[in-house]
């Protein structure tokens, strides 16, 4: 089994906290993180990439590792929210939150059973396929990289959001490639002052980036700017994670990072339940940042607990993670 890198799991732990925050009522608190909180996972995937297997073997392993939890947790969420409409089932196959970009009205919404974060898993499958095309074709690597960049820009003209994130996968693939190059060139060992300058650059660029949401192809001001923010933000988080190794805070993020897949898939159930409980207990009060923070804590703890229980059962591990 491939050895886990502690700072990568810590970075994933930070990423999953931000993902949960983005789906809670505390979303306004993380406006500065919108350019990085999903790209972190693609960046880390490229960072830990190993090319010891053939293209076919690597792709088959990744597909199985991602599609099985995608199907399993979608089934779980359908049962939890008891939504069995044709649109919902079509949405699981299509694997996008909506058919048109978010600013188009009227729209067609698909994944409405608390399963809309799971677009990430099918997006990762497509991104891995494009990524392996680069890494296993050294001769045409730079031609493919340029082609992916052009394709990303062209896809912004597409009137609909394509199934399995086919329209955003070329961009997330480039983020994965940047992660691989970061490890190959040992950039994580960069001087702290240099990282501080990169952090200031990230903040400055984010202030002029506009609205960002990778899941619905919102790149803000430009695709190029979003890509730069994704790389800078992911690099800064991974660099900082290196210094959290062995600390109490680092161990907390490490634990969350190891269970990030499960948390990703079922977080919305805990967020919805927490919100409903709050409205039942305090019907006269509206939700706010503080209730949003409580939603985050419940979702993280609940997701972690479910993941631990699943891993303790050989049967559940086999049908949910193919392990």
Do 20 and 271 touch, CB atoms closer than 8 A? Answer: yes
Q: What is the mean pLDDT of residues 105-128?
A: 93
Distance CA 102, CA 123 (A): 18
The 10s digit of each residue's pLDDT in 223-256 is 999 999 999 999 999 999 999 999 999 999 999 9
Token pair belonging to 249: 């805070």
The 10s digit of each residue's pLDDT in 292-318 is 999 999 999 999 999 999 999 999 999
Burial (CB count <10 Å: 0-12, 13-18, 19+), residue 74: buried
Task: Check residue 1 and give its pLDDT.
Answer: 45
Q: What is the mean pLDDT of residues 102-121?
A: 90
Do 67 and 125 touch, CB atoms closer than 8 A? Answer: yes
């Amino acid at each position: 089994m491939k050895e886990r890198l502690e700072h990568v799991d810590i970075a994933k732990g930070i990423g999953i906290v931000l993902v949960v925050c983005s789906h809670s009522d505390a979303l306004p608190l993380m406006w500065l993180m919108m350019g990085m909180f999903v790209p972190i996972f693609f960046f880390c995937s490229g960072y830990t990439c190993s090319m010891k297997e053939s293209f076919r073997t690597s792709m088959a392993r990744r597909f199985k590792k991602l599609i099985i939890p995608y199907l399993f947790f979608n089934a779980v969420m359908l049962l939890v929210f008891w939504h069995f409409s044709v649109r919902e089932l079509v949405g699981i196959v299509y694997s996008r939150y909506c058919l048109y970009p978010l600013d188009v009205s009227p729209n067609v919404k698909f994944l409405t059973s608390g399963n809309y974060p799971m677009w990430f898993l099918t997006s990762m499958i497509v991104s891995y396929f494009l990524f392996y095309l680069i890494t296993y074709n050294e001769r045409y690597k730079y031609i493919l990289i340029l082609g992916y960049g052009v394709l990303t820009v062209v896809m912004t003209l597409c009137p609909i959001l394509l199934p399995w994130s086919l329209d955003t996968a070329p961009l997330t693939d480039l983020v994965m490639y940047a992660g691989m190059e970061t490890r190959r060139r040992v950039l994580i060992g960069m001087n702290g002052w240099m990282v501080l300058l990169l952090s200031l650059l990230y903040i400055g660029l984010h202030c002029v980036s506009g609205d960002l949401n990778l899941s619905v192809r919102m790149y803000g001001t430009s695709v190029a700017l979003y890509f730069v923010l994704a790389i800078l933000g992911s690099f800064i988080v991974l660099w900082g994670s290196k210094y959290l190794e062995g600390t109490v805070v680092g161990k907390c993020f490490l634990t969350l990072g190891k269970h990030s897949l499960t948390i990703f898939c079922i977080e919305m159930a805990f967020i919805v339940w927490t919100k409903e409980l709050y409205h039942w207990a305090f019907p006269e009060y509206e939700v706010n940042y503080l209730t949003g923070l409580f939603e985050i804590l419940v979702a993280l703890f609940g997701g972690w607990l479910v993941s631990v229980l699943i891993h303790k059962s050989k049967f559940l591990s086999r049908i949910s993670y193919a392990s």
